[in-house]
């Protein structure tokens, strides 16, 4: 079973549609699972290019997957590169150790592939698996800890129904944006999807 933010190997240019940009054809190798409804036997993926704006949505046959790396598998991977996002990761490892968390985004891609995707202004993207509800005051405490890191840290809370930004759940708005495979919607409780 694959989840959003997992990294997959095995996609080939033949799996891309004919209208895929040339950079996507060249970037094929490791793709990231994205949230979308697709036909049985396929998984929704994103191809990432060298530039931030180079992102291409595609689908990959599940039987083409040769390797899968979940964000949780990257928690203890250490890089020798001297970048704020990697320093922030070093800072936060002991704090997050008791939790079910993982590294996503550019940092996760770089740690999993060895391909340099981070730069000095990169945020650190993390995911926290939250099968049970997180009290909003606890969310504020966690956000305050993350905000002490040496760069901006964006954490998604993965609930059984989708994902919500920790920063949003810790904020004052009654409704928050829940990202699901069928799209994003405003809810009062991302663990119950109450609109």
Instruction: Choose, from 6, 63, 82, 123, the residue flagged as catalytic.
Output: 123
Nearby residues of 86 by Cβ (< 8 Å), 6 or more positions away: 79, 107, 118
154 in catalytic set: no
Cα–Cα distance for residue pair 124/66, rounded to 1 Å: 27
Point out the catalytic residue in the list 63, 82, 125, 147.
125
Residues labelled as active-site residues:
123, 125
């Amino acid at each position: 079973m694959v989840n959003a933010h997992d990294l997959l190997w095995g996609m080939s240019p033949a799996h891309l549609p004919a209208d895929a940009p040339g950079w996507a054809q060249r970037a094929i190798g490791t793709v990231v699972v994205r949230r979308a409804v697709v036909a049985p036997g396929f998984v929704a993926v994103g191809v990432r290019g060298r530039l931030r704006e180079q992102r291409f949505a595609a689908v990959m046959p599940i039987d083409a997957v040769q390797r899968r790396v979940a964000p949780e598998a990257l928690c203890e991977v250490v890089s020798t590169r001297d970048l704020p996002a990697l320093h922030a990761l070093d800072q936060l490892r002991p704090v997050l150790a008791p939790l079910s968390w993982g590294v996503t985004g550019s940092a996760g891609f770089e740690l999993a592939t060895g391909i340099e995707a981070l730069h000095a202004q990169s945020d650190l993207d993390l995911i926290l698996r939250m099968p049970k509800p997180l009290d909003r005051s606890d969310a504020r405490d966690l956000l305050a800890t993350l905000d002490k890191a040496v760069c901006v840290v964006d954490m998604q809370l993965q609930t059984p129904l989708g994902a919500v930004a920790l920063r949003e759940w810790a904020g004052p708005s009654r409704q928050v944006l829940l990202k699901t495979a069928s799209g994003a919607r405003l809810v009062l409780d991302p663990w119950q999807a109450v609109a």
